[in-house]
């Protein structure tokens, strides 16, 4: 079964390399009936800059980037079965979770949320996901 690279021009390519170096990552890879979306952050797709310091705005942009990549792979949030979240500051969890709930509009997924240090300065949330397309 070959892996199929999925790319959306409406979402930034991550990898946090300098602007002159191509990212070593795919935005997503489809393998069989599954779509694996790389961790996304709160980057504006055009400027590739962090949209805001506010965790709610960062969460909305991160999820919007995920949705664009899901759509490029033929999926929606309804196809997502699992998400993993990394928060720079675990004290942001309540505000993150409130925004996450609003964005998901009742859609259910399994999710793990941990504290850690995303590699790019100013990025306070990173989310990846797996979608089932079968």
Residue 69, domain CATH? 3.30.1330.40
Please tell me the total count of domains within the chain.
1
- Residue 18 DSSP code: -
Q: Mean pLDDT, to the nearest integer, of 52-75?
A: 98
Q: How far is Cα 37 from Cα 29, in angstroms, rounded to an integer?
A: 7
**C-beta of residue 6 within 8 angstroms of C-beta of residue 31:** no
**C-beta of residue 119 within 8 angstroms of C-beta of residue 38:** no
- Residue 16's alpha-carbon distances to 6, 110, 114, 115, in angstroms, are 18, 27, 20, 19
- Per-residue model confidence (pLDDT) at position 42: 96
pLDDT in tens, 2-58: 999 999 999 988 766 666 777 788 999 999 999 999 999 999 999 889 999 999 999
Residue 119 domain boundaries:
3-132
- pLDDT grade for 119, boundaries at 50, 70 and 90: confident
Average pLDDT, the chain: 94
- Total-model pTM: 0.94
């Amino acid at each position: 079964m070959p892996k199929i690279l999925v790319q959306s021009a409406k979402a930034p390519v991550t990898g946090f390399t300098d602007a002159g170096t191509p990212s070593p990552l795919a935005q997503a890879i489809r393998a069989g009936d599954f779509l694996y979306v790389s961790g996304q952050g709160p980057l504006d797709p055009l400027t590739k800059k962090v949209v805001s310091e506010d965790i709610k705005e960062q969460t909305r942009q991160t999820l919007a980037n995920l949705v664009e990549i899901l759509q490029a792979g033929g999926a929606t949030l309804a196809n997502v079965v699992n998400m993993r979240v990394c928060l720079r500051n675990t004290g942001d969890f309540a505000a993150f979770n409130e925004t996450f709930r609003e964005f998901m509009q009742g859609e259910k997924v399994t999710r793990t949320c941990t504290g850690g240090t995303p590699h790019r300065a100013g990025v306070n949330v990173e989310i990846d996901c797996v979608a089932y397309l079968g």
